[in-house]
Structure 1
Amino acid sequence: MSIDDIEGTTEAAAAGDTEPSAIPIPFQRRSGVYGLELPRPTVPGTGGPSLLVLEELRVDVDGLMPTMTVSGTRTQLFGGQVTWIARVAWDAAQQGYTGTIFYRDGKTSLVPHTDVLVKLFGGFPFGGQRRARVTFTGGPAAVTRTFVFRRTAFREVGIEYDCASDATAVTDYRLHAHPNRPADLPDTHLTIESAFTRLGIAVTKTGGDDVVPVIKAGSDGLWTDIEMHDAMQVHWSKWADAPQWQVWTLFAGRSIRGHGLGGIMFDDIGTAQRQGCAVFSNSFISDPHPGDPDSDQAVQRLRFWTAVHEIGHTFNLAHSWDKDEMTRWIPLAEEPNAFSYMNYPFRFPAGEAAFWAGFRYGFSENELLFLRHAPERVVKQGAAPWFDEHAFEQIRQATSNALELSLRVNRPTTRFEALEPVVAEVKLKNTSFVPVVVDRNALLGERLTVIVSADGRDPRRWVPYARHCYLDDPYILKPGESLYAPLFLSAGLNGFDLAEPGRYRIHAMLDTASGEILSAPLGIDVRPPRSREEELLAPDVYTDEVGRVLAFGGSRGHAPALDRANDVLREAVERLPDSALAVHAAAALGNTAAVPGRILVQDSTDPRDREFKDVVPDPEQALPLIEKAYGNPVAAADTLGHIGLTRQVEQVAVALAAGGLGNPQEAARLTNDLADTLDARGVLPSVVESVRDTAAELSG
């Protein structure tokens, strides 16, 4: 007989065969945490209670903002642990809540069933202690276990606040203080603690209220992450480099990152992270709101909101628009329209005023699902590391928010094959209604900064193999018009930043005359190798010389390292013919085989005896490679990107039409196919028309 069988028979008998009605009662809260009912099941042959199994049930079907979810964690000594989650609905016929288990984390064999029926009984007005009887069905034989109500809160967390000597702490707010609010919002005085506690996360103040001398931020009075971490270790009574349900919040003056940073979860040092956050009261969150007769209350509201927002990040909550980047948890859809602490008011699609008019001082349903039911290891402070920098930063854009910077990949998915070079596109757009003067070369030089980050790894700055220095070239960017530039992100002077399988987040920042412009993050997923061939070829591909040849679109060799790189690319075409890497390799090799050029050679032992020699096209090599690279223009566009593909095809087509290869019909076909592909993918009509003009010229 299994432990499940013992518990099922023993606990069902202990609870009795009958029970009062389990119909939901409006004035009787059922939601909360339940524990296995005593007496515990006995160990066969001993008659004594079993200590082999610990189990907790979380019921979330009533109270404030219920998610209609039931979850549990079952731990078996020497047998592992599993967390399961089921969405449920009331079933009048069975007088209980029923649903299917949609998530498991851990040793799934501990809860092998697929469905649950949860009956809640006892308590007022029926008398007796509140209980939950859960029947697991689907798969193995049905099992029933009974649980006893333990507490209302799904999590219990301690918190401390300290304040720098030049800052102001805001830890409470009256919800009717500002007239822009939901019409039926209760006139409640919220503290930070009650903001969480009323939603099922019991937050209790455990100490704090230290005054932190601003000199601890250095002579400039501007806080760095290191300085805040040092202050946390000194002033937080609960500090420990270990997982714990504890949070420290520092109300500081200003971050070294400037006026545009309102708050941050700074704690990313050591093995235990996500325990400390800061709110910067001397930042934009305290700026007056012109035209708002209740500006003082608007400022107070934003300060309070910022504190709860940053504390939310310590629970590993993502921004509302970043849900698809969460790690170690269910992939969630982005929620840009969420009336949530985790959304940015000024980023709300309908505008900031509309956000406050609908905000009920809570979290979205998916966020509450995470807070209340996700495995402890991904929620608990100090356990799983944060998956990215969690900050409330005003998106500072040049010329009164006239310009927008964005990163994208021109393909249906952001998943990349193992070994596939990652090519992205950076775009600078005038989103205003007036022309804006910009530098035409702004995206091509030192003013563009790109940061690559991944879970569990330090962020790295992408440093391309070549940087360009241009004189400023003033250009009038019309309303709605954009500048574009391709980015070969896989490799640079720092090596291959995107070699390891996993999820990455890429940010771009552009330094302009009127301020820094930040992009929204681009999330990509690099897949693991699919075959032994990919694994064997990886060490040869991830070399500096191969990275350079791919980044520059080919090399004519005549240097040992570059010859080796070309050999690796030929091997990739032969051994992985159906891969995206083969498209890049064929494009690089085909370009140098088709396009005439010059190389510097040394004809004697004297290093000064060098000369340039012309290299003529090689049709025998070029034509198969061109077909491999561009024969499927849709696949080529997906991996080479629109800008790179257009440049390469036009260059190769010109060579095809010239005397070396002498094939103008093929050149015209190649460019016409390119034009059709770009047109179908929504590329600017002016670009498509330019490609068609090239095709017409080449066909004669």
Structure 2
Amino acid sequence: MISGLYRGRNGDSEVELRVDLDGPRATGRVSGDLFARAGETLSYVGSFVVHAPERRGAVVGGTGAFTYPVTGRDVELGETELLLDGVRYPLEFASPYFRRVLLEIDSVVGAVPFVAYDTGSLPGPPGDPRVLGVTEAYAEAGVELVTGPPGVTPVDGSGADLAWDDAELHHAMTQAFTAFGDGAAWRVWLLVASKHVGGYRGIMFDYNDACQRQGAAVFHDAIKGDSPQAQRAQLRTYVHELGHAFNLLHSWQKNLATPPQPLGPDGGFGDLSWMNYVQNYRPGGERGYWAAFPFQFTDTELIHLRHGFYRDVAMGANAFGSGAAEIQPFEQPVEDHSGLRLEVRAKEWFGFGEPVVVELKLATAGEPRHTHSHLHPDTEFTQVSITQPSGRTVLYRPMMRHCVDHSLDVRLDAGNPAMYRSAYIGHGRDGHYFQQPGEYRVRAQYIAADGSRIVSPTCLVRVRYPVADADHKVAELMLGEEQGKLFSLLGSDSPTLSSGNAALDEVIDRYGGHPLATYARLVKGLNAEREFKHLEGSRLQIRPPDAQESITQLGAVVREGRVDNITLNLAMRRLARAEARKGDLDRAYAVLDDMVDTFAGKHLNAVVLRQIRRQAELTKAALSAES
């Protein structure tokens, strides 16, 4: 029996069987998915895999691992039939590929989709050069990507910067992806956009609901070019982001999967895989990676793509990575000679329903150290564990995670002893993490540029019990799922989040004097200050910024002064931009001068205050250039 996909049926029971015993990079496995047909509907029953099948005369068989209850675990495969749990399925060969996936590609005007790269164009490992596009790369892994002509989206509106943020991307997927649905299916949408507001090359952005991994994007401005180097980078970025849609984690994160997978060499950074970061490869960094990379997935990734259980691989099924499963709190390493120290800090207490924001600080422990700048947990070089009052420990998983496949080198020394990030960890892909009053214990782990895993001491986060009736009502309005998404996205115009926006409006209108109303104003003000892109059908429409609404809401946030320092810094800079957009450049400059004075009055250390002054001057220069 040749390798590939087979289909069989016995009554209302249907099976898709994957035979992987010969052919290129055969994994020596047999796996399948079982379905039940009722009328014109087909329902998923479960999956199985035989990891070490043996030949028994003319039959191949072995003990299977099943996701559903069976009376017998033996699986037998003959030339024309499958014996599975006592049921015989006549088989017909369906495809030389193990999976068949619809890939729908749309691009914005000016962003040209990648076509192909000749692997012999630049020096690399020994082997036969070949021309690879995205479909060919996945075909080598045994996955058939079925594509049509890319849709090209024109832009309605002028003055658009065409820089996309996470809220716009998710809204675009729900409107423009013709196969988008609330269920598991073999389909994925890829948007070729101009650029991301964070400067990223690509992102698999669909992490925020029960039907994840349906949408990815690549950003043309960051990877464009006709040179062999640019074409090679484009190929890797496209394959990498779509790999996440198949539920493949980054090479150094496989131990966070469910079930956990062993890390490869050097804590995963030694993997020669599409899923590693080029600049983090060890040994040798980018030069070493491209000198040895064979343009393929690793053996364990190949097993996942070909033989992972249906719901672990199919788009819209199981959540990305580890799910909401409990984890062990991060432990301090037995030895730590990294010269770096990580700290998580939070204010003394939070109100019930208040967005939980922590500050991350990475500092040198003495001698100068070089590392990367990706301290925020949305990049997943930093992970955060939360031990809830019940004793359950969960991993904070950001609603949107970003592939930062280029790193800004940072030197921490006496003149720049630490870097800081503010992180909203109250809501993520699993919903709200602080849903009841009590004491929470938060720890973080930062993966440094050399692979060192720096673990913070525990930070105690206290959530107070509500006291007055208004506390209960405001908490109710703040803790909805849509509201959590709006806090994660810093606002959105998406109709799918209209109930959340209505709840925040009610907080402002009915409970405007409550301390938590400042967070509703923050979200509404930040969203109003920016433009918002609506990808509707075949056209891109742009809602311009509402400067006056932003000034009203952010001005109140600044006056109230209840948010943390880093968030206040953001709010004041965005308020200045809103003033400039309204045409009052003098007022914009005054806001930035107030920002410097405000933080000077907080008696911050001299290094941080210098950075804030520098931010103010750079923002003034940018606003002057824009005006």
Equivalent residue number for residue 278 of structure 1: 217
Measure the CA separation in 2 of the matches of 1:207 and 1:498.
52
Equivalent residue letter for 1:310: E
Give the alignment partner of residue 86 of structure 1, picking from 16, 27, 50. 50
Q: Confirm or deny: 8 A CA contact 1:208 1:236 kept in the other structure.
A: no
Alignment of 1:216-615 (within 5 A): 219-257=160-198, 259=199, 261-283=200-222, 285=223, 296-327=227-258, 330-335=259-264, 336=268, 337-351=270-284, 352-387=286-321, 416=328, 443=343, 463=358, 477-478=367-368, 499=390, 501=392, 503-505=394-396, 543-544=437-438
Match of 1:63 in 2: 23
- Report the CA distance shift for 1:254/1:119 in structure 2 as closer, same or farther (over 3 A): same
Equivalent position SS for 1:463: strand
Q: Does 1:183 align with 2:73?
A: no
The equivalent residue for 2:3 is 31
Q: Distance in 2 between matches of 1:552 and 1:339?
A: 37
Give the drift of 1:444: 6.8
| Structure-2 residue corresponding to 1:174 | 118
Matched residue of 1:99: which SS?
A: strand
Q: 1 or 2 for the larger relative contact order (CA 8 Å, sep ≥6)?
A: 2
Deviations 1:3-46, CA, capped at 9 Å, x for gaps: xxxxxxxxxxxxxxxxxxx7xxxxxxx11122227xx5xxxxxx
Instruction: State how far apart, in whole Å, the 2-side matches of 1:158 and 1:423 are.
Output: 39
CA-based RMSD of the aligned residues comes to 5.0
Alpha-carbon shift at residue 66 of structure 1 (Å): 1.5
- TM-score, length basis structure 2: 0.53
Query: SS at 2:238's partner residue?
Result: helix
Equivalent residue in structure 1 for 2:66, among 79, 98, 104: 104
Asked whether 1:157 is paired with 2:96, we answer no
Distance 1:308 1:156 in 2: 16
What's the CA shift for 1:514? 9.8
Query: Residues 424-474 of structure 1: CA distance to partner in whole angstroms, max 9, x if unpaired?
Result: 669999969xxxxx9x9x84768x9xxxxxxxxx9x85538xx99xxx999
Mapped partners of 1:366, 1:204: distance in 2? 24
What residue number does 1:208 align with? 150
Partner of 2:602: none
**What letter matches 1:356 in structure 2?**
W
Q: Kindly state the Cα deviation for residue 297 of structure 1 after the two structures are TM-superposed.
A: 1.4
In 2, the alpha carbon distance for the partners of 1:147 and 1:338 equals 37
- Provide closer, same or farther for how the CA distance between residues 474 and 506 of structure 1 changes in structure 2, counting only shifts above 3 A: same
* 8 Å CA contact 1:214, 1:221 repeated in 2: no
Note the C-alpha offset of 1:148. 2.4
Q: Distance in 2 between matches of 1:143 and 1:75?
A: 13
2:20 maps to a residue whose letter is D
CA–CA distance in structure 2, aligned partners of residues 188 and 245 of structure 1: 27
Could you tell me how far 1:282 is from its partner in structure 2? Answer: 2.5
In structure 1, distance between residues paired with 2:458 and 2:93: 62
| Matched AA of 1:150 | A
Question: Residues 72 and 378 of structure 1: is their aligned pair in 2 closer, same or farther, counting only changes over 3 Å?
Answer: same
Write the distance in 2 (CA, Å) between the matches of 1:241 and 1:158: 16
- Give, in whole Å, the separation in 2 of the partners of 1:67 and 1:473: 45
2:122 & 2:44 partners in 1: Cα distance? 51
| AA in 2 matched with 1:303 | Q
Deviation at 1:215, TM superposition (A): 6.4
CA-CA distance at 1:231 after TM superposition? 2.8
* Whole-Å separation in 2 of the counterparts to 1:547 and 1:444: 10
Residues 364 and 418, structure 2, Cα contact 8 Å, conserved in 1: no
1:88, 1:97 within 8 Å by CA — same for their partners in 2? no
Q: Aligned equivalents of 2:334 and 2:168: distance in 1?
A: 36
Alignment partner of 1:383: what SS?
Answer: coil
1:673 equivalent in structure 2: none
- Percent of pairs identical after alignment? 25
1:320 and 1:169 map into 2 onto residues whose CA distance is 26
SS in 2 for 1:477: coil
Runs of 5+ in structure 2 lacking a partner?
348-352, 372-381, 405-409, 423-433, 443-456, 461-466, 468-627
Residues 370, 498 of structure 1: alpha-carbon distance in 2 compared, 3 angstrom cutoff: farther
For the residue of structure 1 that corresponds to 2:358, the secondary structure is coil
Contact 1:158–1:245 (CA under 8 A) maintained in structure 2: yes
Conserved in 1, the CA contact under 8 Å of 2:345 and 2:358? Answer: no
Q: Distance in 1 between matches of 2:216 and 2:44?
A: 33
Unaligned runs of 5+ in 1: 1-21, 23-29, 41-50, 121-130, 288-294, 390-413, 417-421, 433-437, 449-457, 482-486, 520-538, 554-560, 562-700
Partner SS state of residue 73, structure 1: strand
Match of 1:10 in 2: none
Corresponding residue for residue 675 of structure 1: none
> Could you tell me how far apart the structure 2 residues matched to 1:377 and 1:36 are?
20
Q: 8 Å contact 2:106–2:152 — kept in the other structure?
A: yes
348 and 100 in structure 1: CA distance in 2 versus 1, 3 angstrom threshold: farther
- 1:253 Cα deviation from its structure 2 partner: 2.5
Q: Deviations over 1:659-692 (max 9, x none)?
A: xxxxxxxxxxxxxxxxxxxxxxxxxxxxxxxxxx
Partner of 2:450: none
Q: 1:117 to 1:552 in 2, by over 3 A?
A: closer
| Inter-partner Cα distance in structure 1 for 2:33 and 2:248 | 21
Change (3 A) 1:61 1:315: same
CA distance in 1, matches of 2:60, 2:363: 67
Q: Contact 1:249–1:278 at 8 Å: present in 2 too?
A: yes
Task: Please give the secondary structure, in 1, of the residue aligned with 2:147.
Answer: strand
Contact 1:207 1:237 (8 Å CA) reproduced: no
Distance in 2, matches of 1:320 and 1:55, equals: 32
**Separation in structure 1 between the aligned mates of residue 110 and residue 334 of structure 2, nearest angstrom:** 40
Q: Distance in 1 between matches of 2:165 and 2:335?
A: 30
Deviations 1:68-95 (A, max 9, x none): 110123345799823110123564x724
Residues 33 and 56, structure 1, Cα contact 8 Å, conserved in 2: yes
C-alpha distance in 1 between matches for 2:314 and 2:115? 22
Letter in 2 for 1:104: F
Task: Write the deviation string for residues 202-231 of structure 1: whole angstroms up to 9, x where unpaired.
Answer: 111134331353969x94432111112233
* Paired residue type of 1:244: A
Change in CA separation of 1:35 and 1:429 when aligned onto 2, cut-off 3 Å: same
Instruction: Name the aligned partner's letter for residue 236 of structure 1.
Output: F
